[in-house]
């Protein structure tokens, strides 16, 4: 049967109203899912929104850690992930034992946890960060010794920007951003010599050194809109192109290579959004003790990011 977006959207709208549900979507999910959303944002914006929405049900169009954070921050709401298989591999690249081991080495260690992590790991951390606020938050922390988990590229970027701290980055990485190479960036630069390079801090250091702007998905979109330039090379997942084109009509965007695709984000499809509303499938549950412990670093992130 042919997929009819307008028909699906009408059903989604009706169910949303009947069930007092809201749809939040990350910039990396497919374009038609973004078109169903009430709010689209980066991981910080969506986490903050999850604390503010008045709806009984949150349909979180993103990967599992995002849905978990929404549930932890707003436990009285029911949170649903359209795809149970949409999981960020980086979130599983750090262990509780690695944190314990590092804590045993430093008395004053602050564990700074990128939100791309499991609830269990957040529960063992002192503060969470996203790519939009990591630098601001790390600079505000009182301690000198910072264990930055799990993303090594973001951790190294923060280390470089915060020489006053002893930032110890873990070695996790995003497969999508790690696959963007400086060689491909140089080729894109030659092909589009006037274009500015906008990069996500999950990219390798040699790309960040070349970038004209480094920031979160929302940061990249804001930079493209406000910079006077007309052409941009985008070093992050290709889902941002949807909002880039919407907010910057007339400007031109180039990817570094054609495979800047997060397969996990692309598992969130429009029919699964409908299914989540119809069948209440894939509800997010976080064990109470873990949720209580993980809430503290998430709330600390919001306090420090907003102050």
**Residue numbers of the site for ligand 13P (CB under 6 A)?**
42-44, 116, 130-132, 174, 200, 202, 216-217
Q: Indicate whether 24 belongs to the interface with ligand SF4 (CB under 6 A).
A: no
Instruction: Write the binding mask 84 to 103 for ligand SF4: x where contact by CB under 6 A, - elsewhere.
Output: ----xxx-------------
By CB under 6 A, which span of 11-19, 31-39, 181-189, 260-268 interacts with ligand SF4? 260-268
Closest approach, Cβ 2 to ligand SF4, in A, equals 30
Measured from the CB atom, the residue of 21 and 240 that comes closer to ligand SF4 is 240
For residue 163, the Cα-to-chain-centroid distance in whole angstroms is 25
Cβ pair 133, 115 in contact under 8 A? no
Closest approach, Cβ 142 to ligand SF4, in A, equals 29
Complete edge-to-edge strand list for the sheet that includes strand 78-80: 39-41, 21-26, 57-61, 78-80
Closest approach, Cβ 27 to ligand 13P, in A, equals 6
Q: Indicate whether 264 belongs to the interface with ligand SF4 (CB under 6 A).
A: yes
Positions in 189-218 near ligand SF4 (CB under 6 A): 202
Number of residues in the chain: 307
Eight-class DSSP state of 195:
P
Q: Could you tell me how many residues of this chain bind ligand SF4 (CB under 6 A)?
A: 13
Measured from the CB atom, the residue of 61 and 277 that comes closer to ligand SF4 is 61
CA distance linking residue 249 with residue 240, whole number of Å: 14
Q: Indicate whether 115 belongs to the interface with ligand SF4 (CB under 6 A).
A: no
For residue 123, give the 3-state DSSP assignment. Answer: coil
**Which stretches within the chain are classed as H helix?**
5-19, 31-34, 43-52, 64-73, 96-105, 119-122, 134-140, 152-161, 175-178, 182-191, 205-210, 217-226, 240-247, 270-279, 288-306
Measured from the CB atom, the residue of 64 and 202 that comes closer to ligand 13P is 202
Measured from the CB atom, the residue of 74 and 130 that comes closer to ligand SF4 is 130
CA distance linking residue 279 with residue 160, whole number of Å: 48
Q: Which residue has the tokens 């969470």?
A: 128
In degrees to the nearest 10, what's the CA dihedral of 140, 146, 147, 151?
50
Binding ligand SF4 by CB under 6 A: which of 262, 270, 276, 295?
262
Measured from the CB atom, the residue of 42 and 57 that comes closer to ligand 13P is 42
216 binds, among ligand 13P, ligand SF4, none (CB under 5 to 8 A by kind): ligand 13P
Measured from the CB atom, the residue of 70 and 174 that comes closer to ligand SF4 is 174
CA distance linking residue 14 with residue 297, whole number of Å: 37
Q: Which residues are at the interface with ligand SF4 (CB under 6 A)? A: 63, 88-90, 116, 174-176, 202, 237, 262, 264-265
């Amino acid at each position: 049967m042919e997929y009819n977006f307008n028909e699906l959207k009408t059903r989604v709208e009706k169910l949303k109203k009947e069930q007092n549900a809201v749809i939040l979507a990350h910039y990396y999910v497919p374009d038609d899912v973004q078109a169903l959303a009430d709010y689209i944002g980066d991981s910080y914006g969506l986490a903050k929104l999850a604390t503010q929405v008045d709806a009984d049900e949150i349909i979180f169009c993103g990967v599992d850690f995002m849905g978990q954070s929404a549930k932890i921050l707003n436990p009285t709401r029911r949170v649903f992930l359209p795809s149970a298989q949409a999981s960020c591999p980086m979130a599983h690249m750090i262990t509780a034992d690695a944190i314990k081991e590092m804590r045993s080495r430093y008395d004053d260690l602050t564990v700074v946890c990128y939100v791309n992590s499991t609830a269990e790991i957040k529960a063992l951390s002192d503060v969470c960060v996203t790519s939009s606020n990591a630098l601001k938050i790390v600079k505000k922390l009182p301690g000198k010794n910072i264990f930055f988990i799990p993303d090594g590229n973001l951790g190294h970027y923060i280390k470089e920007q915060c020489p006053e701290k002893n930032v110890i980055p873990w070695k996790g990485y995003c497969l999508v951003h790690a696959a963007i190479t400086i060689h491909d960036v140089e080729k894109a630069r030659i092909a589009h010599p006037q274009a500015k390079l906008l990069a996500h801090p999950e990219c390798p250091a040699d790309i960040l050194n070349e970038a004209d702007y480094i920031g979160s998905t929302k940061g990249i979109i804001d930079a493209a809109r406000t910079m006077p330039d007309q052409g941009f090379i985008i070093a992050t997942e290709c889902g941002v192109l949807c909002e880039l084109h919407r907010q910057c009509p007339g400007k031109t965007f180039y990817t570094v290579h054609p495979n800047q695709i997060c397969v996990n984000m692309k598992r969130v499809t429009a029919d699964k959004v409908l299914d989540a509303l119809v069948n209440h499938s894939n509800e997010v549950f976080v064990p109470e003790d873990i949720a209580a412990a993980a809430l503290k670093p998430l709330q600390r992130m919001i306090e420090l990011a907003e102050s």
